[in-house]
Structure 1
Amino acid sequence: MTLELIDVSLRVGADMHLYPTSLRLEPGEFNILLGATGAGKSTLIRLAAGLERPTGGRILVDGTDVTGMSPQKRNISLVHQFFVNYPHLTVFENIASPLRVSRVPKSEIEGRVEEAADILQLRPMLHRRPQELSGGQQQRTALARAIVKESKAIFLDEPLANLDYKLREELREQLPELLAGRGTVIVYATSEPTEALLLGGHTALMREGRLTQFGPTAEIYHQPRDVASASVFSDPPMNFAPVEKRGHRMHLGSALDWPVYGAAAGLPDGAYTVGIRPHHISPVDPPDPSIPIRGTVRITELSGSESVAHFDIADRVWVSQSAGVQQFQVGEPHEFHMVPTHCFYFAEDGKLAAKGIADG
């Protein structure tokens, strides 16, 4: 099965919730919608699933126009970030509910429910009710109900957002294996770039109701088309600043300059915007060739696994992200190290002009 959106849009009153969007989604791998809250991910899912009708464009399933077709006739499944289970039914009955609605023979229902329960490690809980389950077990139940239906498309709208860290990591790792080989179109919405990279497949970057780029996940991470795409695919957000190329060096005002490498060395002299991800600005000197940056620390965010520091540079605030616990003093200058080979350079129209030698 293929799912295709052709210039699909949604206007509510004077507000555009989704600008004309075209996407062709294939079965067999994850199709990820990546963007911040309000980017249009849930709107696109509701339109593709038939929960809302677009104000413009068409939706095709295997070449057939289903734009006005109800969700029930489309044979789709939808899993939200909230645990949508029937509280008065057992886990078995919750998983079986779409099969009963579809009038699947009773003799077949038991086998299909048990198979889905085994996949999601729910067999010991089949006779419990949702209120007797942990959050992770409730979300597994919702996923099992989606799997057992053997839908043509499964829409997962930030399904792990409300789980604790350990359960998120566990299910994130298992999902590709659980949903593989089903010939189903899988659409997965997330606001976390790291989650998109872990799931792989293809990613559609969304920003303010617009699709900014679509392609293989790793490819668009390393080669964002423009400033908008680069902004979406970085958490914390990518650092940007206006720079000027003169000869073989880039100049960030009078505060900083560095040599350019790779394709960037061949750019014409002139004005550009540099972009660099926070994890390529380190408070410790990295093994790759780097340049020192000295800036006043404004905010710090420390956890057991990483340290984030916001610091002033050339009338801007940049962010450094590094592993482990680093020592910063708010209000005091600190030396950071930027790796120029990880820089992206964008032209005045916002399009990617060149990047350093290393993958971004």
Structure 2
Amino acid sequence: MASIELKQVSKIYPGSTAGVKDIDLKIEDGEFVIFLGPSGCGKSTLLRSIAGLESITAGDILINGEVVNHVAPRDRNIAVVFQSYALYPHMNVWQNMAFGLRMRHTPADEIDAKVKQAAELLGLTPLMQRKPSALSGGQRQRVALGRAIVRDPQAFLLDEPLSNLDAQLRAEMRLELVRLHRKLGRTTVHVTHDQVEAMTMGDRIFIMKDGRLIQQGPPLEVYANPADTFVAGFLASPPMNLLAGRLVAEGDGLSFVTDGLSLPIPAAYRAVYAPWVGKPVTFGLRSEDFHAGPTGDASVPIVLQVEAVEALGPENIVIGRIAGSEKPIAARLTRHYSAQAGEMVTLHADLMPMHLFSPESGKVIPRPRAAASPLRRHA
């Protein structure tokens, strides 16, 4: 197994285009981490740099405390699984899984033992004589993983391995990857743009934007306490509701005021938000913090004109607007809540999980941290 550390790592392409810029992070031995971000944010460049498939312009990459900047990819003892699977179409499953070992002149009996062990682990034993064209997408993904496993690497790097699968197979393979990590205990880096993968698979997530690392931490901690409006909007579907307005003093309290709406700031946050009175701020509240009825002292009624209802089965997403506002609000409600487009409804917002952000920098204005639910480890 391996720890992986990046110190001020940058990759600048010809024309001064930055692939990644000044990345500092450390992945602990045996940890499962997610690199998350939109297309073009640099997450795959970072993964390829760790693998040695991309040379870095500046900084150091350390594996188990040793600088590997100039170590060849094959000598880093790291396995990479790509989005395309990269299986040889003329070879059967056994041959695909054994190919790398044969190229390293591994003894035949050792190859056979390793391939059989990996096949049993991944449920591929009945498929060993099939060629890739006779396999489903999920089976091909398992073969690609098996080819990596037989190498017995100290770490796995997975570059969007589930993006070619349909929704049901993605869900199945998420579970398979978590189980595989639990069994093997190897350091794993998983690159994705899918928020569900990030929230459900990793011990920690590293959120990237424009080649830079924006925030890192346990998934639920990052979700509950985003560092800026980008993280607030990206790490959720629907994204966090963000409203532009001002913070004003009202008697002994504070309120966020925007078109057609005034929301009282919870007493626990007044002291830290007081310096922003009279200034423009961005108010953030997630969709699940809206409810059909009152939920407590920090709950306030909000009247919305419904524009659409997305019935997802286990829940309904109600999208509506406050009178006088152009910004839609999304509320995540139970499957039993019903509303029709054009209807006026009163929802109740729990303001304790709210955030305020600076509209200039987009960064969160620090406040006492909201408690996140305990993040369970893979079990």
Q: TM-score, normalised by structure 2?
A: 0.85
Structure 1 residues 305 and 85, CA, compared in 2 at 3 Å: closer, same or farther? farther
Partner amino acid, structure 2, of 1:257: S
> How many residue pairs align between the two structures?
359
Report whether the alignment pairs 1:353 with 2:362. no
Aligned-pair CA distance for 1:134: 0.9
Report whether the alignment pairs 1:151 with 2:164. no
Structure 2: state its 5+ residue gaps: 374-379
How do residues 235-246 of structure 1 correspond to structure 2 at under 5 angstroms?
235-242=237-244, 243-246=246-249
Contact 2:256 2:265 in 1 (8 A): no
Aligned-pair CA distance for 1:241: 1.7
Structure 1 residues 19 and 334, CA, compared in 2 at 3 Å: closer, same or farther? farther
Q: Distance in 2 between matches of 1:64 and 1:86?
A: 34
> Which moved further from structure 2: 314-323 or 76-85?
314-323
Structure 1 residues 322 and 142, CA, compared in 2 at 3 Å: closer, same or farther? farther
How do residues 1-360 of structure 1 correspond to structure 2 at under 5 angstroms?
1-12=2-13, 13-180=15-182, 182=184, 184-242=186-244, 243-246=246-249, 247-253=252-258, 255-261=260-266, 263-269=268-274, 270=277, 271=279, 272-282=281-291, 284-285=292-293, 287=295, 290-313=299-322, 314-324=325-335, 327-330=338-341, 333-347=344-358, 349=361, 350-354=363-367, 359=372
Q: Distance in 2 between matches of 1:286 and 1:33?
A: 38
Q: Deviations over 1:245-301 (max 9, x none)?
A: 42424222252223333631333431432211122235x336556323223444554
Cα-Cα RMSD: 2.5
Equivalent residue number for residue 377 of structure 2: none
Q: Secondary structure at the match of 2:293?
A: coil
Q: Distance in 2 between matches of 1:300 and 1:80?
A: 38
Structure 1 residues 86 and 259, CA, compared in 2 at 3 Å: closer, same or farther? same
Structure 1 residues 252 and 102, CA, compared in 2 at 3 Å: closer, same or farther? farther
Q: Distance in 2 between matches of 1:292 and 1:9?
A: 48
Structure 1: state its 5+ residue gaps: none
Aligned-pair CA distance for 1:181: 5.5
Partner amino acid, structure 1, of 2:283: V
Q: Distance in 2 between matches of 1:39 and 1:297?
A: 35
Partner amino acid, structure 2, of 1:311: G
Structure 1 residues 329 and 17, CA, compared in 2 at 3 Å: closer, same or farther? farther
Contact 2:156 2:189 in 1 (8 A): yes
Aligned-pair CA distance for 1:212: 0.7
Partner amino acid, structure 1, of 2:364: K
Structure 1 residues 86 and 22, CA, compared in 2 at 3 Å: closer, same or farther? same
Aligned-pair CA distance for 1:201: 0.7
Q: Percent identity?
A: 35
Aligned-pair CA distance for 1:323: 4.2
